[in-house]
């Protein structure tokens, strides 16, 4: 689906991406992580054909720079910062649907699922929406059409918990259709539950490429012991859903996690980082 | 809808909501109302009175205001969109760069030229209603002149927007270009150059290359066919072009210049980084 070879991009004398190679097959759901200035946004802009670059990028065999319309027809993009568009919401929906050859009703339906009523906001300028509403509309515009590559830059940053849940559901639906997802985030825990590959960039180079479920035996299990510093009902509910049981004092929890789910499990735990006093994970063989 | 027209239409709707457009329409409509209110149709210059006189004054005022307005609003809007991330998002949609760029220019052209044309048309309508003689020849030629002037400066604005990476640089460059062209009018630096015995070929070359000067000379030509107001350089112009030839040149040159500038801007835009 995506093939990147020897990608280089600089601004003036500063090289932001230095000879990056990457292959993403259909169905890959990638968390693109890295600190500020690591090259995440630059890589995304190269993939969108917005930057001039050295090396080669192919999306479905096509160059995003030379065949940008063909490539961008496959792409749903959610930017990190919503653009300050003055056009009313209704016009933006029509514009996106028209250029992408989609039905505006599909975008409206996705927005509705995310909790944004387009009809109520139809005449309101996009720029006047709240941060969360803007994010919902941009996500709806990306997901409300037929795409096989989703590129999202910190997509869930402004969403309320309910919308976040729906957003993950929508992505899971896309996942079933073998779409490639590239989700850029500063925080792995945000996207851990969604992805099956983690790529970390640092100074324009891949420093970690973890194909989570490739390296893990699908039948393996990890025995886990989690210690917390005080009992907490929300934590109990969360680990309870993973089938963990508590010691009588409620400070130690034990259970097992399927190997391929380890990233998702760690993502869940990271929400309670302040509570954690200890964590042990051991290979427990085949389950 | 075709992506070019869709982009043009989006830009038109965007302009209708923008404050610059309200100010711009107010200025051009206001000028005409002011000219009527001042009784300019009643005054007489070199035998010209009525609507001809009014249009002549309107044309001279447009020459001063229109280029700077077109330049500054165009570069502000396009460079502003680039700087604020609007390009990053909208150009991630499957719209071709040519449809985007030329659609923007088309939409902006419609929005800039329409108020000017409506103001002139309004004056003609008012003249028709009050029984004043309607100068159709002047109306048509001046409308065409203002059209190519708009196109020319829009082309320059598109080029500046493509090359400059920030609003400040774009705005500064646009202003300097306008100032340079203004300085090289016959009233200012060209006059000084003649006085300093600069080569006549150089002076006339500059005059013919400056779209503002071409516009000004063509504007004069309808009521002063011998270009008496222009002085000796009129001989060169009339010898080389003839009256009709220069009037055609005054329409063709800014049109070609604007198209060339816009085309260079497009090549720059297409080959560089978009956001």
Query: Could you report the per-residue pLDDT of A107-161, keeping only the tens digit for each?
Result: 999 999 998 999 999 999 999 999 889 999 999 999 998 888 999 988 877 777 7
Distances (CA, A) of B148 to A170, B56, B97, B157, B266: 51, 17, 24, 14, 19
Whether A87 has a pLDDT exceeding 80, the answer reads: yes
Residue A184's DSSP bridge partners are: A32, A153
Which residue of chain A has the CA closest to B18? A86
Whether B106 has a pLDDT exceeding 70, the answer reads: yes
Contacts of B257 (CB under 8 A, 6+ apart): B152, B155, B211
Tell me the C-alpha distance between A140 and A105, whole Å.
Answer: 11
Residues of A in contact with B273 (CB under 8 A): 45, 50-52
Query: Do the chains contact at B92 and A48, CB–CB below 8 Å?
Result: yes
Q: Which of A176-180, B186-190, B248-252 has the highest mean pLDDT?
A: B248-252
Query: Do the chains contact at A75 and B13, CB–CB below 8 Å?
Result: no
A83, A84, A184, best to mutate vs chain B, most B CBs in 10 Å: A83
Q: Quick one: how far is CA A103 from the chain centroid?
A: 25
Shortest distance between the Cα of A7 and any Cα of chain B, in A, equals 15
Confidence (pLDDT) at A78? 93
Query: Do the chains contact at A85 and B92, CB–CB below 8 Å?
Result: no
Contacts of B199 (CB under 8 A, 6+ apart): none
Mean pLDDT on A211-229: 76
Residue A25 and residue A9 in contact, taking contact as beta carbons nearer than 8 Å:
no
- Kindly list the domain boundaries of chain B, sorted by start residue: 2-271
Dihedral of alpha carbons B261, B145, B235, B193, sign? negative
Asked whether the ipTM of the predicted complex exceeds the cut of 0.85, the reply is no
Residue B275 touches partner A, C-beta closer than 8 Å: yes
Query: Do the chains contact at B92 and A73, CB–CB below 8 Å?
Result: no
For chain A, how far is it from start to end, CA to CA, in angstroms? 34
A99: nearest CB among B85, B87, B95 = B95
**Which residue carries 């030839």 as its tokens?**
B245
Query: Do the chains contact at A52 and B271, CB–CB below 8 Å?
Result: yes
Buried b (16+ CB within 10 A) or exposed e, B109-137: bebbbbbbeebbeebbeebeeeebebbee
Q: How many other β-carbons are positioned within 10 Å of the β-carbon of residue B239?
A: 8
Mean pLDDT on A1-18: 90
A83: nearest CB among B17, B89, B94 = B89
Whether A263 has a pLDDT exceeding 90, the answer reads: no
**pLDDT higher for A235 or A185?**
A235
Task: List the Cα angle A159/A168/A173 in 5-degree steps.
Answer: 140
**Per-residue confidence at B47, pLDDT binned at 50, 70, 90?**
low
**Per-residue confidence at B92, pLDDT binned at 50, 70, 90?**
very high
Shortest distance between the Cα of B271 and any Cα of chain A, in A, equals 7
Residues of A in contact with B12 (CB under 8 A): none
**Which residue carries 């027209």 as its tokens?**
B5
Helical ranges in chain B per DSSP H: 3-17, 19-37, 50-84, 86-90, 97-130, 136-163, 167-183, 189-195, 200-209, 211-221, 233-271
Query: Do the chains contact at A99 and B91, CB–CB below 8 Å?
Result: no
Residue A285 and residue A221 in contact, taking contact as beta carbons nearer than 8 Å:
yes
Phi–psi pair at A184, nearest 5 degrees: -90, 135
Which residue of chain A has the CA closest to B274? A50
* Strand A2-11 with A205-210, pairing: unpaired
Tell me the C-alpha distance between B45 and B57, whole Å.
Answer: 10
Residue A27 and residue A180 in contact, taking contact as beta carbons nearer than 8 Å:
yes
Tell me the C-alpha distance between A147 and A143, whole Å.
Answer: 7
* Mean pLDDT for chain A overall: 87
Residue B25 and residue B114 in contact, taking contact as beta carbons nearer than 8 Å:
no
Tell me the C-alpha distance between B101 and B161, whole Å.
Answer: 11
Confidence (pLDDT) at B229? 65
* Mean pLDDT for chain B overall: 84
Query: Do the chains contact at A100 and B94, CB–CB below 8 Å?
Result: yes
Query: Do the chains contact at B96 and A69, CB–CB below 8 Å?
Result: yes
Whether A192 has a pLDDT exceeding 80, the answer reads: no
B89, B103, B267, B270, best to mutate vs chain A, most A CBs in 10 Å: B89
Tell me the C-alpha distance between B3 and B95, whole Å.
Answer: 6
Q: Which of A172-181, B49-58, B101-110 has the highest mean pLDDT?
A: B101-110
Whether B46 has a pLDDT exceeding 60, the answer reads: no
In this structure, chain B runs to a length of 275
Whether A174 has a pLDDT exceeding 80, the answer reads: no
Point out the least confidently predicted range of A90-99, B151-160, B194-203: B194-203
Contacts of B133 (CB under 8 A, 6+ apart): B50, B51, B127
Point out the least confidently predicted range of B8-17, B30-39, B60-69, B162-171: B30-39
B92: nearest CB among A75, A81, A84 = A75
Distances (CA, A) of A189 to A28, A33, A266, B53: 18, 11, 7, 74
Confidence (pLDDT) at A59? 92
CA-closest candidate to residue A43, choices A71, A9, A12, A66: A9
Residue A7's DSSP bridge partners are: A20
Whether A216 has a pLDDT exceeding 60, the answer reads: no
Whether B63 has a pLDDT exceeding 60, the answer reads: yes
CB pairs A-B closer than 8 Å = 75
Mean pLDDT on B96-109: 93
Q: Which of A68-82, A251-265, B22-36 has the highest mean pLDDT?
A: A68-82
Point out the least confidently predicted range of A36-50, B123-137, B142-156, B260-274: B123-137
Shortest distance between the Cα of B164 and any Cα of chain A, in A, equals 15
**pLDDT higher for B128 or A227?**
A227
Residue B188 touches partner A, C-beta closer than 8 Å: no
Mean pLDDT on B222-245: 73
Point out the least confidently predicted range of A180-189, B184-193, B215-224: B184-193
Query: Do the chains contact at A83 and B88, CB–CB below 8 Å?
Result: yes
Helices A89-100 & A104-113 angle (0-180, nearest 10):
130
Whether A270 has a pLDDT exceeding 70, the answer reads: yes
**Which residue carries 């496959």 as its tokens?**
A74
A87: nearest CB among B14, B87, B88 = B14
Confidence (pLDDT) at B234? 66
Residue B272 touches partner A, C-beta closer than 8 Å: yes
Residues of A in contact with B95 (CB under 8 A): 69, 99
Confidence (pLDDT) at B97? 92
Whether A25 has a pLDDT exceeding 60, the answer reads: yes
Phi–psi pair at A151, nearest 5 degrees: -115, 120
Whether B35 has a pLDDT exceeding 60, the answer reads: yes
- pTM for this predicted structure: 0.82
Query: Do the chains contact at A87 and B10, CB–CB below 8 Å?
Result: yes
**Per-residue confidence at B135, pLDDT binned at 50, 70, 90?**
confident
Confidence (pLDDT) at B7? 92
Residue B99 and residue B12 in contact, taking contact as beta carbons nearer than 8 Å:
no
B86: nearest CB among A50, A85, A95 = A85
Q: How many CA atoms lie within 13 A of B30 on its CB side?
A: 7
Tell me the C-alpha distance between A39 and A30, whole Å.
Answer: 15
Confidence (pLDDT) at A284? 78
Mean pLDDT on B8-33: 86
Mean pLDDT on B117-144: 85
């Amino acid at each position: 689906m995506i093939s990147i070879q020897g990608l280089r991009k600089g601004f003036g004398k500063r090289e932001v991406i230095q000879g990056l190679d990457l292959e993403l097959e259909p169905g890959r759901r990638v968390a693109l992580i890295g600190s500020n200035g690591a090259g995440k946004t630059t890589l995304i802009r190269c993939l969108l054909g917005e930057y001039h670059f050295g090396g080669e990028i192919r999306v479905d065999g096509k160059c995003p720079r030379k065949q940008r319309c063909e490539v961008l027809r496959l792409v749903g993009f959610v930017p990190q910062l919503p653009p300050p568009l003055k056009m009313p919401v209704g016009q933006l929906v029509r514009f996106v649907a028209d250029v992408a050859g989609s039905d505006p009703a599909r975008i409206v339906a996705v927005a509705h699922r995310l909790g944004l009523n387009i009809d109520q906001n139809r005449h309101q300028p996009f720029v006047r929406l709240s941060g969360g509403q803007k994010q919902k509309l941009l996500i709806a515009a990306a997901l409300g059409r037929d795409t096989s590559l989703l590129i999202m830059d910190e997509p869930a940053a402004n969403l309320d918990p309910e919308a976040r849940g729906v957003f993950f559901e929508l992505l899971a639906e896309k996942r079933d259709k073998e779409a490639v997802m590239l989700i850029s985030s500063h925080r792995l825990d945000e996207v851990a539950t969604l992805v099956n590959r983690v790529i970390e960039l640092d100074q324009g180079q891949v420093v970690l490429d973890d194909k989570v479920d490739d390296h893990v035996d699908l039948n393996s299990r990890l025995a886990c012991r989690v210690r917390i510093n005080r009992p907490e009902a929300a934590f109990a509910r969360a680990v309870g859903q993973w089938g963990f049981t508590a010691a009588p004092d409620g400070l130690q929890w034990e259970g097992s996690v399927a190997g391929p789910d380890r990233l998702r499990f760690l993502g869940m735990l990271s929400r309670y980082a302040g509570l954690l006093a200890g964590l042990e994970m051991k290979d427990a063989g085949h389950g | 809808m075709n992506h070019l027209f869709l982009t043009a239409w989006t830009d038109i709707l965007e302009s209708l909501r923008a404050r610059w457009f309200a100010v711009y329409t107010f200025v051009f409509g206001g000028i005409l109302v002011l000219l009527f209110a001042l009784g300019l149709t009643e005054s007489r210059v070199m035998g010209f009175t009525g609507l001809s006189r009014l249009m002549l004054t309107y044309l001279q005022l447009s020459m001063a205001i229109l280029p700077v307005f077109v330049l500054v609003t165009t570069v502000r809007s396009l460079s502003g969109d680039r700087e604020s991330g609007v390009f990053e998002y909208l150009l991630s949609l499957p719209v071709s760069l040519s449809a985007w760029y030329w659609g923007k220019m088309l939409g902006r052209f419609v929005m800039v030229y329409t108020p000017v044309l409506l103001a002139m048309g309004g004056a003609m309508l008012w003249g028709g209603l009050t029984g004043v003689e309607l100068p159709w020849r002047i109306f048509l030629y001046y409308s065409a002149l203002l059209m190519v002037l708009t196109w020319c400066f829009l082309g320059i604005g598109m080029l500046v927007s493509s090359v400059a990476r920030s609003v400040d640089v774009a705005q500064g460059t646009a202003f300097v270009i306008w100032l340079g062209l203004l300085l090289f009018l016959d009233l200012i630096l060209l006059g000084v150059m003649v006085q300093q015995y600069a080569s006549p070929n150089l002076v006339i070359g500059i005059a013919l290359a400056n779209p503002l000067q071409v516009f000004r000379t063509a504007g004069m030509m309808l009521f002063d066919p011998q270009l008496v107001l222009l002085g000796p350089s009129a001989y060169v112009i009339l010898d080389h072009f003839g009256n009709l030839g220069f009037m055609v040149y005054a329409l063709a040159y800014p049109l070609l210049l604007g198209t060339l500038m816009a085309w260079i801007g497009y090549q720059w835009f297409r080959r560089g980084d978009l956001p």
